[in-house]
Structure 1
Amino acid sequence: MRLTPRAHEIQRVVDVLEDPTFESPDQMAKALIKEVADIVQMRDLIVVVHTWEGGHKGLNFGPFGSTAEAEAFAKKMSFGGTGRLVPLTSSGIMLANHDGKAGWPGYCYQPDCGHAPWMHAIEGSSRGKCHDTTCPCEKFVKDDPTKKKTTRKKAAPKGMAAGINEL
């Protein structure tokens, strides 16, 4: 299965690799495998469903990371019969929508929340309090607060160095 790594996924793996609290390479390897499995579980995938020429159930192949990858596989293999691509809805996404997924893009970055946007009440053009009654979230936080973009200040007009006007 080919997966194109996304920036937030790479950062999660880097965080595991740079964590100084691991006492052994085995501990780090276990944590890394769990992190990558969690990342893959948050992806929708594709399978190829095959039917033999007589109409009997055939072979199923997958998962594939994209439709293009599944189609390329199906073209290379010559089993006979027919096939179709079937999307697999990620169980990780389903669980994250239900339970919350703290620190994951697309979900509320409120530390105690982590729910999907549609779990939050619409207030004007933004989203407010979480509908989950056990969640203390008062406002949907769309972006990771630790990665706030800094705004650049406008340069002072020429001749106004250090706030002094030249006459």
Structure 2
Amino acid sequence: MSPALLLPLLLAAAPLPPQDAAVAADASCATTRPAWPAGLETWGTREPLAAGASARNAPVIVIGRAAELRLVALDRVTVAAPPARAVEPGTSAGLALFQVTEPGTYRVALGAPAWIDVVRAGRTLPSVAHGHGPMCTGIRKIVDFRLTPGRYVLQLTGAQATALPVMIARSRRAAA
């Protein structure tokens, strides 16, 4: 068989990444335009980024820009603070830094399951809301945090996937 004919067959047979499986399973997603949550409209355009194994080598995620974060084995990660939830051995984890310039509520969106901690000065911060992304967006989980200006560590643990779509955005909803 010629390579020109073989390539489309190989691409069609390739498994979908875990974060897109739910979208692909819903046939209506093929003809539906996703309803993007406010601030997460650029979710579909992700920059590849290697997660840090510690806060010292963690990359910077720019608020409002999505990333495809390549995680590392949990046993290779030095967490910035003890995770607020126990994590299973053999899972993936990673750290990234982000800078907040204005006080407000910020959303962390993920495309696959993982535990989210936002850490500042060695302490995990409480979340103020949890939810899921709308159908057909590929957003699996959204967690909101009230933050003040400063530098933070995004700590992801307990992921089954080795790459994780992630985005941090300022919420446009009024803070309660």
Answer with 1 or 2: which has the greater Rg: 1
Scaled by the length of structure 2, what TM-score is found? 0.22
The structure whose RCO (Cα within 8 Å, separation 6+) is larger is 2
Q: Select the structure that is richer in strand.
A: 2
